Chain A
Amino acid sequence: DQQVKQNSPSLSVQEGRISILNCDYTNSMFDYFLWYKKYPAEGPTFLISISSIKDKNEDGRFTVFLNKSAKHLSLHIVPSQPGDSAVYFCAASPKTGANNLFFGTGTRLTVIP
């Protein structure tokens, strides 16, 4: 039972444009959400997070939006750069705040120079 879903396996964007990666979840007990980026042959790297008490969190070129009623979050990257090309994983944490994250299947982002 996939509780965190990333329905787009891949996304291609021109350099300088906006990249929007989407994520849906089914478990209403999730209250903390994270995005991780993964390059080939490396482990996932933490990118940005958001608590359920917020609807937006921004860090430089990266912004995460949370819509709790729709159980949907998105990651916006503006402007996109070729170095952003990687697999992006959405993850969710249950209310206990423990480290047992539930990950989506990932979206491969390709930024075209």
Chain B
Amino acid sequence: DAGVTQSPTHLIKTRGQQVTLRCSPKSGHDTVSWYQQALGQGPQFIFQYYEEEERQRGNFPDRFSGHQFPNYSSELNVNALLLGDSALYLCASSLGLSSYNSPLHFGNGTRLTVT
């Protein structure tokens, strides 16, 4: 039973560029959430996708966008990269929209470095 898989594991980009991160949810899960974890901080919620729609969004600018595909996999896109976007990006999956019945399962993350 494959867990949450993310690609790539590491990425180096230049300020101003665009980046796409990918996530495949745990088998049986239909909801994907994305989190940003800056160094020394806890994960911070970016947004959540369910039924191919963005359902909730955290306090992140429009430069951060996403997509969910019919097979439940998801992409996170970040445009016009800033140095401050350097972080570990975590994808988490669950069954349904509520954390009550289905705690989030996290992938190992993508480490993005913006130079």
Contact with A along B7-50 (1 / 0, CB 8 A): 00000000000000000000000010101000011111100100
Q: Is A69 an interface residue (CB 8 A)?
A: no
Set of chain A residues within 8 Å of B105, measured between Cβ atoms: 46
Contacts A34-B103, A41-B108: A100 and B42 contacting too (C-beta < 8 A)? no
Q: Does B42 lie within 8 Å of A106, measured CB to CB?
A: yes
Of the 9-residue stretches A13-21, A71-79, A91-99, which lies at the interface with chain B?
Answer: A91-99
A99 to B33, CA, bound (A): 7
Contact of B56 among A32, A45, A98 (CB under 8 A): A98
What CA separation (Å) do A102 and B98 show in the bound complex? 14
Q: Are A99 and B108 in contact (CB under 8 A)?
A: no
Contact between A51 and B100, CB atoms less than 8 A apart: yes
* Interface size in chain A (residues, C-beta < 8 A): 26
Most buried by A among B33, B40, B104, B108: B104
Are B58 and A97 in contact, with the CB atoms below 8 A? no
- Whole-angstrom distance from the CB of A53 to the nearest CB of chain B? 11
Chain B interface residues toward A at CB < 8 A: 4, 31, 33, 35, 40-45, 48, 55-56, 58, 90, 92, 94, 97-100, 103-109
Chain A residues in the interface with B (C-beta under 8 A): 4, 6, 32, 34, 36, 41-46, 49, 51, 89, 91, 93, 97-106
